């Protein structure tokens, strides 16, 4: 349900958060003791729902980063092997160095993901 921006602004004050589903700005409204957030498109969240959705989106983004970095590392290793077989020692070493740097970044992000997962798991 899309609303006009004027209608949404009447709901409440603009929040500093973005909608985890569409990326649009959120407006905050206090109903009794419950604070809710709503975007221009119509996505609506309580504070706890917003936190859960942010957690999901953040985890997804980090796993996408891991996958993309692994692909980049693998391509760099392939180029390293190809250039080494052609006798391009310096270029091969440069590709290897970059691949090793990506490997460190991958490990760091994986550690962060597992740490976040452990902290989000119910005790």
> Per the confidence metrics, is the pTM higher than 0.85?
no
- 74-100 in b/e form (b: 16+ CB < 10 A) is eebbebbeebeeeeeeeebeebbebbe
Count other C-beta atoms under 10 Å from residue 4's C-beta.
Answer: 9
Q: What order of strands is seen across the sheet that includes strand 44-46?
A: 13-18, 25-31, 34-39, 44-46
Q: What is the pLDDT of residues 64-113, one digit of tens each?
A: 999 999 999 999 999 999 999 999 999 999 999 999 999 999 999 999 99
């Amino acid at each position: 349900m899309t609303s006009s921006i004027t209608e949404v602004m009447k709901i409440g004050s603009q929040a500093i958060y973005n909608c985890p589903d569409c990326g649009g700005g959120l407006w905050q409204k206090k109903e009794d003791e419950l604070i809710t957030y709503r975007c221009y498109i119509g996505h609506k969240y309580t504070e706890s729902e917003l936190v859960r959705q942010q957690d999901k989106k953040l985890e997804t983004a980090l796993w996408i980063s891991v996958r993309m970095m692994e692909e980049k590392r693998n391509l760099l290793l392939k180029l390293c092997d190809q250039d080494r077989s052609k006798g391009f020692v310096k270029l091969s070493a440069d590709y290897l160095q970059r691949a090793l740097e990506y490997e460190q970044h991958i490990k760091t992000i994986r550690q962060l993901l597992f740490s976040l997962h452990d902290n989000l798991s119910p005790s």
